[in-house]
Amino acid sequence: MDKKVVYQEIMDKIKAYQTVIIHRHLRPDPDALGSQIGLAELIKKTYPDKKVYVVGEEVASLAYLGGMDTIPDEAYANALVIVTDTANQPRISDKRYGKGDFLIKIDHHPNEDMYGDIGHVDTAASSCSEIIADLSFSMGEQLPMNDDAARVLYAGIVGDTGRFLYPAATADTLAIASKLMRYDFSASDISQLMNTNSQKIANLSGFVLQNITISDVGVGSIILSREILEKFDADDSDTAPVVPLPGTIEGVLCWGIFVEQPSGKYRCRLRSKGPIINEVAKQHGGGGHPLASGADAKDEAEINEIVLAFEELAIEWQNSH
């Protein structure tokens, strides 16, 4: 279906409902919050008579993007619910998303869970924030851009493109980012905030760089056990900034950072600079983008299976390139 047709369908629903509640995924990153809060700011400024809420858990390190609302279950009665940047239903933060009257999914991940009464998924977009910005620019006066929305949407794009480093950053991405930068916010301040870490995360980053194992074919791996996290006074949410680090090491082609959870299982944060890794992630209860995925491992034996699969992918990729 033509993109503008879907955009108009989404706009018609936004106009039709007095209450709009916006969700995103668990353990949010800048794009999850940027797309969620950005869309809320667009709707609030354009339709000030509507009740617009953003829900989900708070993340202290991303508080500069905005906070969440606390709402009762009754707020969902006759409400429009929109979920941004979330590929599948188990990852949606705040499980009340199904209590509304109508559900819309807006996302840029592979569309393997086609939930929602309307679903708009654009896998060519760098980020969900890019999609929300494009929605605004395409719809014009129906949903005009504003300073507050532009700020968080720009942050979302910067976050999901690794400051425009990753292949997902296209000419369209840069064009939309350029339009956003015309609004009244400091792009450099956003970059500085996203580039500043606490002392404990700096120390954890040093540990990752010093202790990561790198195979002969360029597969990096490191397990962050509960003991290691406690040593740095860190938890799972503190590991996000260290995920890109192995990619800065010469010779590393793809990698996994395996974070032990309180349950004893492991969250697998998987990245690549070439080999397509999301199929491996799917085999281990996860999924995601071709070069950036997540999965779960029940023990170190399953971690080894993932690393071995990465070894095979790395060899195949190198032989074909």
Written as one string, the DSSP assignment of 188-243 is HHHHHHHH---HHHHHHHHHHHHH-EE-TTSEEEEEE-HHHHHHTT--GGGGGGGT
Average pLDDT, the chain: 96
* 283: confidence class by pLDDT, cuts 50, 70, 90: very high
The reply to whether 160 and 257 lie within a common domain is: no
d(CA 117, CA 81): 10
Residue after which a domain boundary falls, among 194, 229, 253:
194
The reply to whether 233 and 147 lie within a common domain is: no
* 140: confidence class by pLDDT, cuts 50, 70, 90: very high
Residue after which a domain boundary falls, among 135, 170, 194:
194
The reply to whether 175 and 291 lie within a common domain is: no
Residue 163 sits in a domain whose CATH number is 3.90.1640.10
Phi, psi of 157 (to 5 degrees): -65, -45
25 DSSP assignment: B
Instruction: Supply the pTM of this predicted model.
Output: 0.90
The reply to whether 210 and 190 lie within a common domain is: no
Three-state SS string over 249-293 comes to CCCCCEEEEEEECCCCCEEEEEEECCCCCHHHHHCCCCEECCCEE
**Mean pLDDT along residues 93-116:** 96
- Domains in the chain: how many in total? 2
Residue after which a domain boundary falls, among 194, 229, 261:
194
Containing structural domain, residue 107: 3-194
Per-residue model confidence as pLDDT tens digits over 214-249: 999 999 999 999 999 999 999 998 898 999 999 999
* 18: confidence class by pLDDT, cuts 50, 70, 90: very high
Residue 291 sits in a domain whose CATH number is 3.10.310.30
The reply to whether 216 and 160 lie within a common domain is: no
**Mean pLDDT along residues 187-211:** 94
pLDDT (0 to 100) of residue 234: 93
The reply to whether 187 and 280 lie within a common domain is: no
The reply to whether 224 and 127 lie within a common domain is: no
The reply to whether 125 and 41 lie within a common domain is: yes
The reply to whether 96 and 39 lie within a common domain is: yes
The reply to whether 222 and 238 lie within a common domain is: yes
d(CA 91, CA 56): 11
153 touches 179 (CB < 8 A): no
254: pLDDT strictly greater than 90: yes
Tokens coding 97: 């998303």
